[in-house]
Structure 1
Amino acid sequence: MKRVTVRDQIPEIYGKILEVGPELQKILGDTLAELVKLRVSYINGCAFCIDKHTADALERGESRQRLFLLAAWREAPAHFTDAEQAALELVDQVTRLGEHGVSEEAYAGAAEHFDERETAALILAAAHMNLLNRVAITTHLHPPRRRS
């Protein structure tokens, strides 16, 4: 069955949702924002978003190795800064809320490295990417084939 294209059916709302990403990226910076988007997408299994944000991160100069290791970031601590690890832990727990909520340790770890505005941006970035993943997966939005 063909699924609805949300962007086409409700462009006035979908467009506003997409405007959130660049605003959060201004607060978090390109590197961390792309890591957050990609990590959430790995957890949710969103192929479209994994493809898009991997390509975006590579364009911005992220290393292929860090992108590969992001799926198992806890086992590769030397490849991620302490601040990135704290952000990824918070993002993982925000994405997996149904399992155990967000622990005090994860929240405190992020707060140790990020001010309140940046912490708020991390929470919103995770929630925003979760929303986009759910739309993409539900509507069967698939990545295009790339030559490279």
Structure 2
Amino acid sequence: MHMTTQTTTHSTRLDFVKTAPKVFRALIGFDAAAREGLDPALVELIQIRASHLNHCAYCLHMHTNDARKAGESEDRLHMVAVWREARHFFTPKEQSALALTEAVTLVAGAGVPDAVYTEAASHFDDQELAQVLSLIFTINTWNRLALSTGKVAGTDDRRG
């Protein structure tokens, strides 16, 4: 069966920043708080992986560019989507964060398995784990915001 999808231009969707500025500012604050104390490279890896899973080209474009600007290698950027098959590119701590990102992002499928949570908890103290989870929550919200409002990869504005 062949399915067609309709594409919608940006101009036909609401401007979330202008329409819901208090919510948008709250999300910016949540995002900033989630990042506190985390390694910037890990932040980008988590955001890239969630954006892959959510098919959010807008956020994927943004975060791969941000990762490059922060010094991330092209090899690692190309391997994030297949990190299980390319484990030697990522530390055990990064692998545990990527697995947790996948479980939380796809939570409706199988929940967050105890083994995935336990592995992440073995690499992060409680505070760091709370930060990682918060970051996963925020990138999933950003992905949903971008997809719902028709954000287009490569446009100049940053979020929302």
Question: Same fold per TM (> 0.5)?
Answer: yes
What does the per-residue CA deviation read over 1:108-145, in whole Å, with 9 as the maximum and x for residues that have no partner?
A: 00000000011111111111111110010011101126
CA contact (8 A) 1:24 1:33 kept: no
| Structure 2 contact 36–131 (Cα < 8 Å) conserved | no
Q: Distance in 2 between matches of 1:23 and 1:59?
A: 21
Q: What's the counterpart of residue 57 of structure 1?
A: 67
Of 11, 16, 20 in structure 1, the residue corresponding to residue 21 of structure 2 is 11
Rounded Cα–Cα distance in structure 2 between residues aligned with 1:127 and 1:50: 16
The two structures, once aligned, show a CA RMSD in angstroms of: 1.4
Identity %: 34
Q: Structure 2: where are the runs of 5+ without partners?
A: 1-7
SS of 1:76 mapped into structure 2:
helix
1:117 corresponds to: 127
Q: Which residue of 1 aligns with 2:141?
A: 131
Shift of 1:28: 1.4
Number of the residue aligned with 1:90: 100
Higher helix share: 1
Please state how far the C-alpha of 1:26 moved relative to its aligned partner: 2.3
Greater Rg by CA: 2
Q: Using the alignment, how far apart are the partners of 1:124 and 1:145 within structure 2?
A: 26
Matched residue, 1:106: 116
1:30 correspondence with 2:40? yes
Give the letter for the 1:44 counterpart. Answer: N
In the TM superposition, residue 59 of structure 1 has moved relative to its aligned partner by: 0.4
Deviation at 1:79, TM superposition (A): 0.1
- Whole-Å separation in 2 of the counterparts to 1:134 and 1:4: 14
- Amino acid in structure 2 at the alignment position of 1:48: Y
Q: TM-score, normalised by structure 2?
A: 0.87
Distance 1:67 1:22 in 2: 23
**Structure 1 unmatched ranges of 5 or more:** none
What is the match of residue 151 of structure 2?
A: 141
Say which is worse superposed, 37-46 or 136-145, in terms of deviation: 136-145
* 2:150 partner letter: H
Q: Which amino acid in structure 1 is aligned with residue 106 of structure 2?
A: R
Q: Secondary structure at the match of 2:37?
A: helix
Q: Secondary structure at the match of 1:27?
A: coil
Give TM-score, length-normalised by structure 1.
0.94
Deviations, residues 73-107 of structure 1 (Å, cap 9, x unaligned)? 00000000000001110110000001000011000
